Amino acid sequence: MFGYYFNLALRSFRRNKVLTALMVLAIALGIGASMTTLTVFYILSGDPIPEKSAQLFYPQMDPQSMDGYTAGEEPEEQLTRYDAQELLRQKRGDRQAMMTGGSVGIEPERDGLNPFYADARYTTADFFPMFATPFLYGNGWSQTEDDKHDRVAVIAKPLNDKLFGGANSVGKTVRMNGNEFRIVGVMDDWRPTPRFFDMNSDRYGELEQVFLPFTVSRDLDMDRNGSMNCWDDHRDEDDEEGSTGVNSPCVWIQYWVELSTPAKVEAYKQYLVNYSDQQRASERFKRPTNTRLRNVMEWLDYNKVVPGDVRLQTWLAFGFLMVCLLNTVGLLLAKFLRRSGEIGVRRALGASRRDIFVQCLIEAGTVGLAGGVLGLGLALLGLWAVRQQPASYAELAHLNPTMLLMTFVLAVVASLLAGLLPAWRAMQVAPAIQLKSQ
């Protein structure tokens, strides 16, 4: 029966071309606007590392002085260098890594290339296995190289292409900030969205091109970037290493820990409490113990990674879709009731109310399918317009297979919902009255 009703729907479209075109256009406009904003929202709010997001945690504690203290407020979002290094030394997680962002000056040996700056990440050995980073050549460095302050580096694929023409560069050296670094790995294309491991930099920008041991970055006093919060009237001259020194009262380090079981998570939470209590007892920490331990998705939610304007645009687009559906309800109602005579004849020939209802719903669904095809084109056009914006997430706005399927599902479901009232009214048509009027 479905094929028969579908054929009837196509015939009806040909008889009422203008009315059908208006319904298809109404649904297409709503679907196009909704899928454009929904796709952007989906990309920005997705899980950046789904295979491990429930096992990766971001610890927080509050090392500040009592100045400006407010009970119940959130602790600092980063750690001091002292605390990060102490947590790293005690190794209470399956893996752990401390890190910060920076930049390095690269002096290429390749002819035709002038010196340039590249974004860098200073981190520790567990960064690579903990975040499951893919490698094109080689791999990350080891804990031994961290401890020995070896001048090793992992570079990203685009930088390897630029410096070495895409060849295997493992074992070769690259000169950065006037020092030679031995390349131990070339990272393959990897761009977690958002860049969850550092919420203080561009959350949707491109990944750093160079990864260096944190210890070496401090040995060479390399430039760093990102937020830093200091207290106690701290001045750089208070510490021989400045604000990035081990004993500086400044938070600027991101720290992640991998915990594979719920029991380990609970144990680590208690460990953070105990550690804070110990630091308060030694008078390093002045405030009452205040710790947090959030996994990846909880951390993203806490940081409200989806821009407010994207959320607003999504709600507005779905509001526009509702308006389009209300217009479609009116058009379907007018179309079905204009065929009251035809419906009355079908009822007189034995068609049940259920048959009429199903026939009308299939016709509405067919309208939605056509609207989905046109809406897909409008969504692609809308995403192209998004990619022209200066926002860092704009270039990520592409329709993936999931959202492609969602386009047609939403179009058909929306049209079926719009067709419920018109189909119900159509099945109420009394055949006797229609036959008398013929």
* pLDDT confidence tier of residue 429, bands split at 50, 70 and 90: low
Arithmetic mean of pLDDT, 239-261 = 85
Report CA torsion sign: 216, 220, 225, 227.
Answer: positive
Query: Are residues 433 and 316 located together in one domain of the fold?
Result: yes
Is there a single domain that holds both residue 288 and residue 427? no
Average pLDDT over residues 49-58: 94
Q: Among 302, 336, 355, give the residue marking a domain's end.
A: 302
Comparing 16-20, 228-232, 295-299, the range with the smallest average pLDDT is 16-20
Percent of the chain residues topping a pLDDT of 70: 89
Residue 50 lies in a domain: no
Please indicate whether residue 257 or residue 4 has the higher confidence score (pLDDT): 257
| 3-state secondary structure labels for all residues of the chain | CHHHHHHHHHHHHHHCHHHHHHHHHHHHHHHHHHHHHHHHHHHHCCCCCCCCCCCEEEEECCCCCCCCCCCCCCCCCCEEHHHHHHHHHHCCCCEEEEEEEEEEEEECCCCCCCCEEEEEEEECCCHHHHCCCCEEEECCCCHHHHHCCCCEEEEEHHHHHHHHCCCCCCCCEEEECCEEEEEEEEECCCCCCCCCCCCCCCCCCCCCCEEEEHHHHHHCCCCEECCCEECCCCCHHHCCCHHHCCCCCEEEEEEEEECCCHHHHHHHHHHHHHHHHHHHHCCCCCCCCCCEEEEHHHHHHHCCCCCHHHHHHHHHHHHHHHHHHHHHHHHHHHHHHHCHHHHHHHHHCCCCHHHHHHHHHHHHHHHHHHHHHHHHHHHHHHHHHHHCCCCCCHHHCCCCHHHHHHHHHHHHHHHHHHHHHHHHHHHCCCHHHHHHHC
Flag the least confident range among 116-130, 198-212, 292-306: 198-212
Three-state SS sequence of 237-284: HHCCCHHHCCCCCEEEEEEEEECCCHHHHHHHHHHHHHHHHHHHHCCC
pTM of structure: 0.79
Do residue 182 and residue 237 come from a single domain?
yes
Q: Does residue 241 share a domain with residue 174?
A: yes
Q: Residue 432 CB: number of other CB atoms within 10 A?
A: 10
Q: Are residues 96 and 137 in the same domain?
A: yes
pLDDT number for residue 273 = 96
Assigned domain for 423 exists: yes
* Structure tokens belonging to residue 345: 């004849």
pLDDT, greater one: 435 or 135: 135
Are 221 and 323 contained in the same domain?
no
pLDDT of residue 176: 95
pLDDT score at 170: 96
- Whether 62 has a pLDDT exceeding 90, the answer reads yes
pLDDT digits (tens, 9 = 90+) for 311-353: 888 888 889 888 988 888 888 887 777 766 666 666 666 667 7
User: 410 lies in which domain range?
Assistant: 2-45+308-437
Same-domain check for residues 242 and 377: no
In this structure, the answer to whether residues 165 and 263 fall within a common structural domain is yes
Mean pLDDT (whole number) for 416-424: 85
Looking at the fold, whether 238 and 359 belong to one and the same domain comes out as no
Give the Cα separation of 431 and 408 in Å (integer): 36
Region 60-88: mean pLDDT is: 92
Give the pLDDT band (50/70/90) at residue 237.
very low
Asked whether the beta carbons of 300 and 196 are under 8 A apart, the reply is yes
pLDDT in tens, 132-184: 999 999 999 999 999 999 999 999 999 999 999 999 999 999 999 999 999 99
Q: What is the pLDDT of residue 20?
A: 81
The span from the CA of 362 to the CA of 12, in Å, is 12
Higher pLDDT, 403 or 53: 53
Reference 189, options 136, 118, 141; nearest CA is 136
Q: Across residues 231-254, what is the average pLDDT?
A: 73
- Residue 435: pLDDT band with limits 50, 70, 90: very low
Q: What is the mean pLDDT of the chain?
A: 87
* Count of structural domains, the chain: 2
- Same domain? For 242 and 321 the reply is no
Top-confidence residue, 99 or 430:
99
pLDDT band, very low/low/confident/very high, at 434 (cuts 50, 70, 90): very low
Q: For 355-369, how does the pLDDT look when each residue is reduced to its tens digit (9 = 90+)? A: 778 788 888 888 888
Q: Which among 268, 302, 336 is the end of a domain? A: 302
Dihedral of the alpha carbons of 7, 8, 14, 15, in degrees to the nearest 10: 170
Q: What is the largest CA-CA distance in the chain?
A: 101
Does some domain include residue 350? Answer: yes
Mean pLDDT within 266-286: 95
Q: Within this chain, do residues 322 and 351 fall inside the same structural domain, yes or no?
A: yes
pLDDT digits (tens, 9 = 90+) for 89-130: 999 999 999 999 999 999 998 888 899 999 999 999 999 999
Read off the pLDDT band of 233 (50, 70, 90).
low
Q: Using CA atoms, how far apart are residues 78 and 39, in angstroms rounded to an integer?
A: 31
Q: Closest Cα partner for 212 from 241, 183, 243, 255? A: 183
pLDDT of amino acid 236: 47
- Do 170 and 71 fall into the same domain? yes
What does the pLDDT read at residue 415? 87
Give the mean model confidence (pLDDT) for residues 264-278. Answer: 96
